[in-house]
Chain A
């Protein structure tokens, strides 16, 4: 009769041990998952976006569209050249600007400006946009991503910091659509 009772005692110990390990596993799992999800959580909380200067507005003559670059506000020391992000600045007139993301609204390839034909063209899948960023043709479902801008002390500032992607377009749009 002693065998079954000894068995159940050991079984109980085993179950306690498993339960104990399970609890320890969960306790360890929480920080691990937290660590893994940092880019997501941090991105949502303080946000990655900052106001960044693109330099004096006289760099961008009225009626022209020019390439500008900015240093991404959130970077690490070993990011190298990848921290320098280009964007297209269109100075329509006076204080009116449009600042477009370099990324095609289709799948993120770098669009190029062709001033003579007044088009942005994408080298990857053939998307094309008009001078004001509106979709002209090809696979994109929308116009170019646009950064909110403001002018402070004669400098053009944009709100940027996160690579715009088609699914990310909602939320941070303070200006007229379409916007990043």
Chain B
């Protein structure tokens, strides 16, 4: 014990860190902030620590070469002792880190913590969010599989749309003319050196600001922030009613961080590592690339935006969003902090959450993507075929062989790109069906060149049988009137 004390004081005489550490531990925080609502920031930092450790462990085996990366991940998964577990920890850690950072941001926003004098803390927080997203994207690239390969193609295609600079940007992102070794190397450098280095620096600044300015007090409805007297009032409050950070605040931080680490470990154990999916071989085109969970909303947005709007939204949207976030504390730096009296703030969060949630859930189904193998793999249900004429059954064959099923559902299976055809005969007359098939329109390609007249006749005969038993198919009213004697 005495030896340890002597070593301790020897070190402190030189480092002189004892006092600042003690002061940090004992600094008074408002009593109500020793709350379970204030644990997300520290948890995000803990998970970042886990990512650093597991990242270094993975780097011991991973080979950042386009020809070998995929193989080295397979070896990590199957041959290196517990390699799969470290990969799983890193992958799940990434998801948890992003989720916690987002929750932390929402909490900070709803509790008005971005207001005076903590504007810079918020600004740095925005950059931390961007870097965390950057880590998630570059990490997805390092899992150099089919999804990563084609995901890079999507990234390059988006970059190419920047006016004037586009082509140069693409070469810069890819490190050459195509997605290849140079591309992986630069994403490796970003993921392993550049962004983590910046993250550590910014986390340090973020923490320093929290200590210098004090943790945001629990917002009380009606207690307004004013630049003139806020700092004075805050210090008066922490002097009279404050409690030391250690142990009042920190024990909840520690418990929550522990719980999160445990959750990550359980997910890693139970679900295992993410991928890698198929080899990054561009010749294997039987693939349907999908982004990771936190980018699914973007995937949906890219599919659903009208073509004309896509480039402006892609290029200007993020810039506007970023400016709004950065400008927020400077436009609304004073006044009410409590979310109970900030209905627009609450609505804004709900709107963003509902929008992101909707896009994400749409993307997990991806109704806009054709089901590429429905024509060969998903049969027309038998009850649509029984009792039909040979011509109608021939039409069902045309329906399958011409891949109509890839975009149109009948019964359970098939694509959702176009409308389901189970009751199409109620909506369209025979003539309208012929027109739609031959000329297309309304986002349907025209099949005029690829169907013989006999095939078209058969196909439309089959489609005309698709109506509920008790409901007559659509009739051309004018023709019916013309038939009248």
Interface set of A (CB-CB < 8 Å, partner B): 36-37, 39-40, 43-44, 48, 67, 69, 72, 74-76, 78-86, 102-103, 106-112, 114, 116-119, 121, 123-126, 128, 130-131, 136-141, 161-163, 165-168
Contact = CB atoms under 8 A, between A and B. Distances in A.
Contact of A137 (B65, B181, B440): B440
A123 B443 contact: no
A39 B167 CA distance: 11
A121 B282 contact: no
Interface in B281-334: 281-283, 285-289, 299, 302-303, 305, 307-308, 310
Given A123-B370, A124-B154, A168-B167, A78 B288 contact: no
Contact of B403 (A114, A124, A130, A167): A114
A161 B280 CA distance: 18
Given A116-B401, A119-B445, A124-B150, A165 B178 contact: no
Given A72-B177, A72-B180, A117-B450, A81 B67 contact: yes
A32 B49 CA distance: 31
Interface string B389-426: 00000000000011110100000000001000000000
B158 interface: yes
B125 interface: no
Nearest to A86: B283
B160 A166 contact: yes
B67 A80 contact: yes
Interface in B52-109: 65-68
Q: How large is the interface on B (under 10, 10 to 19, 20 to 34, 35 or more residues)?
A: 35 or more
A48 B369 CA distance: 33
Given A118-B449, A119-B445, A78 B65 contact: yes
A74 B440 contact: no
A163 B285 contact: no
Given A80-B181, A82-B280, A130-B445, A108 B150 contact: yes
Given A123-B287, A141-B307, A165-B160, A108 B65 contact: no
B224 interface: no
A101 B124 CA distance: 43
B444 A86 contact: no
A107 B447 contact: no
A55 B150 CA distance: 26
6 nearest interchain CB pairs? A80-B67, A167-B160, A108-B153, A167-B166, A136-B445, A165-B160
A143 B372 CA distance: 20
Nearest to A129: B445
B175 interface: yes
Nearest to A165: B160
B177 A107 contact: no
B368 interface: yes
Interface centre among A72, A78, A168 (most CB of B within 10 A): A78
